[in-house]
Amino acid sequence: MDREQLIDEVLMLLPALMRLVGKPGPVEMGEIARRGIPVDAHISPGHVQILISLSRGPRSVGQLAETVGVSPPAATQLVDKLVEHGMVERRHDHADRRVVLVDYVPGMHEVARRIMEDRRRPIERAINSLTDEEARAFVKGLKLMTEGFGPTASES
């Protein structure tokens, strides 16, 4: 397969992947709405990345910026919008009051856990069908492709 065909193949696969991990679907938005969060909230891929990152526990804005691959000011803007939408909150770290952590608002933990499980399941099946070497190569390739788009792609 030549490079042009590979590029076409990637372009065909990306929408399917984005449907899987992109914006919350109607059922998810309904559950979010039942928690009192506005369903007309604009949730960008960057917001989704922040929400995914928080599924592992509270994070500082600096940690979120590093995980998502954006600058701290860009991460702050993403968090600000999620705070405005009532999905996350900022609070001081109990261990070090100088550190401000971002976490889901009460009630969002369970919603986020279910959303993450629904998104992880098909990816886990696909990754488990690969050898360890293939899985590492796949993730490495995705990272390299993302880096190839430059910083504006991940910060938008």
Count: domains in the chain: 1
Q: Report the C-alpha gap between 29 and 41 in whole angstroms.
A: 10
Mean pLDDT, range 67-82, rounded to an integer:
92
pLDDT of residue 51: 86
Predicted TM-score (pTM) above 0.75: no
Task: Supply the range of the domain harboring residue 116.
Answer: 3-155
Ranges assigned E (strand) in 77-146: 88-92, 100-104
Packed helices 61-68 and 45-54: angle between N→C axes, nearest 10 degrees: 120
Kindly report the CATH number assigned to the domain that includes residue 50: 1.10.10.10
Q: How confident is the model at residue 106 (pLDDT cuts 50, 70, 90)?
A: confident
Q: In 10 A of CB 95, how many CB atoms?
A: 7
pLDDT tens-digit readout, 6-34: 777 776 677 667 666 666 667 776 776 77
**Lowest mean pLDDT segment, chosen from 20-29, 47-56, 60-69, 105-114:** 20-29
